[in-house]
């Protein structure tokens, strides 16, 4: 289940409960079957736009009410269920910790880079900034052809307009946590 499915599932169930509606009543109000509504609430179904439209009408709520992550909600992202964003077998793996969300303008990743391997940065927009924290190992951050040594405990920030690279020049695994900020937010 992706993040959008989780948010939709939680919001649908919360709204239905707030309106004191059973699945049967919601099915009557929306024209969507009880079983389909149950699957959506459990995150087992990815509803079509038509189905979402019927739910909006039946509940008398906006699209945003169904798909927007409610502020103050707690989201736990178990590490074993994190999605692989990018991978090159036996070279590196990038896992998504917090994916990009509209109106948040940042993403968080964990990267594991094997010794001797160079990996391109995460951001693919020229108006972004990457901030990394070295969790394990040592290596180099390469920006504009300049090399900056990095080691466990170090943090670095770099604009991505001309691209950047992470190189594991050490003998152990290099593990990084990378936050990509889309500069619309100016949080970095």
For residues 175-184, give the mean pLDDT.
84
Which pLDDT band, with edges at 50, 70 and 90, does 101 fall under? low
> Same fold for the domain at 3-67 and the one at 79-182?
no
DSSP labels, 35-57: HHHHHHHTT-----HHHHHHHHH
Phi-psi region at 38: left, alpha or beta (left = phi > 0; alpha = psi -120 to 50): alpha
The average confidence (pLDDT) of the chain is 86
Residue in this structure with the two tokens 């936050």, named with its chain if needed: 179
Which CATH number applies to 3-67?
1.10.260.40
Give per-residue pLDDT as tens, 106-130: 889 999 999 999 999 987 667 788 9
Tell me the three state secondary structure of residue 103: coil
Tell which residue, 18, 180, 23, has the closest CA to residue 104: 180
pLDDT of residue 165: 93
The architecture that CATH gives domain 79-182 is Sandwich (2.60)
Q: What sign does the dihedral 85-90-91-97 (CA atoms) show?
A: positive
Structure confidence at residue 78 (pLDDT): 74
How far does the chain reach from its first CA to its final CA, in angstroms? Answer: 31
pLDDT tens sequence across 59-82? 999 988 888 876 655 767 777 777
pLDDT tens across 128-138, in order?
889 999 999 99
Q: Which of these, 141, 140, 117, 139, lies nearest to 129 by C-alpha position?
A: 141
- The domains of the chain are located at 3-67, 79-182
């Amino acid at each position: 289940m992706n993040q959008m499915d989780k948010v939709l599932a939680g919001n649908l169930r919360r709204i239905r409960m707030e309106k004191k509606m059973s699945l049967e009543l919601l099915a009557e109000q929306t024209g969507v079957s009880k079983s389909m509504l149950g699957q959506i609430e459990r995150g087992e179904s990815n509803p079509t736009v038509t189905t979402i439209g019927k739910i909006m009408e039946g509940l008398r709520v906006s699209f945003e009410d169904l798909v927007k992550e409610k502020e103050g909600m707690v989201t736990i992202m178990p590490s074993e269920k994190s999605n692989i964003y990018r991978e090159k077998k036996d070279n590196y793996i990038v896992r998504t910790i917090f994916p990009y969300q509209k109106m948040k303008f940042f993403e968080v990743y964990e990267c594991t880079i094997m010794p001797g391997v160079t990996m391109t940065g995460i951001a693919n927009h020229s108006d972004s900034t990457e901030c990394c924290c070295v969790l394990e190992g040592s290596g180099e951050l390469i920006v504009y052809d300049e090399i900056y040594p990095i080691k466990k405990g170090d943090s670095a920030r770099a604009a991505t307009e001309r691209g950047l690279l992470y190189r594991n020049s050490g003998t152990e695994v290099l593990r990084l946590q990378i936050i990509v900020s889309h500069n619309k937010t100016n949080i970095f």
